[in-house]
Amino acid sequence: MGWILGDKFNKVFPHKGSIRVLWETKWKFACEKSVYPFHDGNIQDFAPIFEHLIKRNINDALSDNYTKAFIPVAESLEQRASTALDNGDSQSASELLLRAAVVYRISRFPYVGPDDSNGLKRAAYDLQKKAYLAATSFWPARMQEHFIPFTHRSGTEGTHIPIYVRVPNTATLDRKVPCILILTGLDGYRPDNSQRTHEILKRGWGVVICEIPGTADSPADPADPASPDRLLDSILQYMASRPELDMSKIVIWGLSAGGFYAVRAAHTHSTRLAGCIAHGPGIHHFLDAEWLSRVEDHEYPFPIVSAWAKKYGYDDPDEFRQKAQEKFSLIRTGIVDQPSCRLLLLNGMDDGITPIEDCLALFTHGTSKEGRFYPGLPHMGYPDSLVAAYKWLDDVLGQNKCSHLPN
């Protein structure tokens, strides 16, 4: 197949296998600008960590030695936060805890799965959640964790769904608010969406954050293509029980691997949603054997196929390469030929993780779609795609800014 990615399809990106190159050419800049995946981070925290990793030639992010390099820095930030709180400085405590949470986040890259009950990366993720919720407890509209019933569960699936919920303090039964349901990705989980929730609440809307099947704390069966439908049924049932949420104005925003589920939801739950954003989605071609044969060489910072395999319920990456497209493709299974709600597709044209062909294919199936694609930009099309996302949400839900919320 002739991929739109062109010559870059066969290119091995220079950071592959090298923490030094990854830091010096990509992550250092992202950390300085506090952008993905370093939102809320601080270069002062990460520079010595990566100096340590580079000096000791630790290049395998799957190793405990990689994760161990981050833990002392995160613990020191938590201790400083405790001191600040003892001195009555809750703002500084919150900022330090957010920084600790980001350090824990990078330490548990690239993947934590529901079956990873032990191990250092699972421990780091649990510490990240603890630090993050402590940090957000000082926000004017705090982030709250709920464990809601998985009422539509099947078989051996877990009994409860962990979600984060944040709503404006002004939301009441008499003043219901629209709500964005964020579906997270392969490596970005519930505590990794501060900036999005700030922007959403500034518009007077609520937000619910949920992890997708096969990742983090999700109870849904990753091997069952229908499990996300049951997951969504259960979450929407819970949201309908919240009297301050306007169930006629619910939008799903799926991020990266979560974009797959946003596309699916736009078709399986079209009458219950005002719209969906699929941000960097794969739907069919990303599971193509030829694509998977080269995706390890592209912009993702670490090996990805083994994580993708686990995320879709495969222990063997080779079996994943051979069978996943037939089982999960939203084209092969006919999902995208059903009617859909409004669906916005966003991505960079140079995406080397989920090919832009997946977005373009949707324009020849089912209901008409909307899309904005960015030449020269990689996976997700950051930062330009965020502008388009918020503009579209304003159009779908209406904008009602709340001045009392943080920037």
Catalytic residue among 256, 306, 329, 340: 256
State how far the Cα of 343 lies from the Cα of 363, in Å rounded to an integer. Answer: 11
Q: E strands of 236-282, at which residues? A: 245-255, 275-279
Kindly report which listed range (32-46, 62-76, 325-339) carries the lowest average pLDDT score.
Answer: 32-46
Q: What angle do CA 321, 113, 283 make, to 5 degrees?
A: 45
Cβ within 8 Å of residue 117, ≥6 positions away? none
Q: Is 288 a catalytic residue?
A: no
State how far the Cα of 42 lies from the Cα of 92, in Å rounded to an integer. Answer: 14
DSSP state of 192: G
Cβ contact 370:343 at 8 Å: yes
Read off the pLDDT of residues 213-240 as tens digits, 9 standing for 90 and up.
Answer: 999 999 999 999 999 999 999 999 999 9
DSSP state of 172: B
345: enclosing H helix or E strand: strand 343-348
Q: Is 198 a catalytic residue?
A: no
Q: What is the mean pLDDT of the chain?
A: 94
State how far the Cα of 199 lies from the Cα of 134, in Å rounded to an integer. Answer: 20
- Residue 401 reports pLDDT greater than 60: no
**What percent of the chain is predicted at pLDDT more than 90?**
92
Catalytic residue among 350, 351, 358, 365: 351
Model confidence band, residue 399 (pLDDT cutoffs 50, 70, 90):
low
Catalytic residue among 39, 269, 284, 379: 379
One DSSP character per residue, 37-80 reads: T-TT--HHHHHHHHHHHHHTT---TTSHHHHHTTHHHHHHHHHH
- Residue 402 reports pLDDT greater than 70: no
- Residue 383 reports pLDDT greater than 50: yes
Which domains are present in the chain?
14-138 (1.20.1440), 140-396 (3.40.50.1820)
Tokens standing for residue 305: 């196929």
Predicted TM-score (pTM) of this structure: 0.95
Model confidence band, residue 1 (pLDDT cutoffs 50, 70, 90):
confident
Total Cβ atoms within 10 A of residue 317: 17
Q: Is 351 a catalytic residue?
A: yes
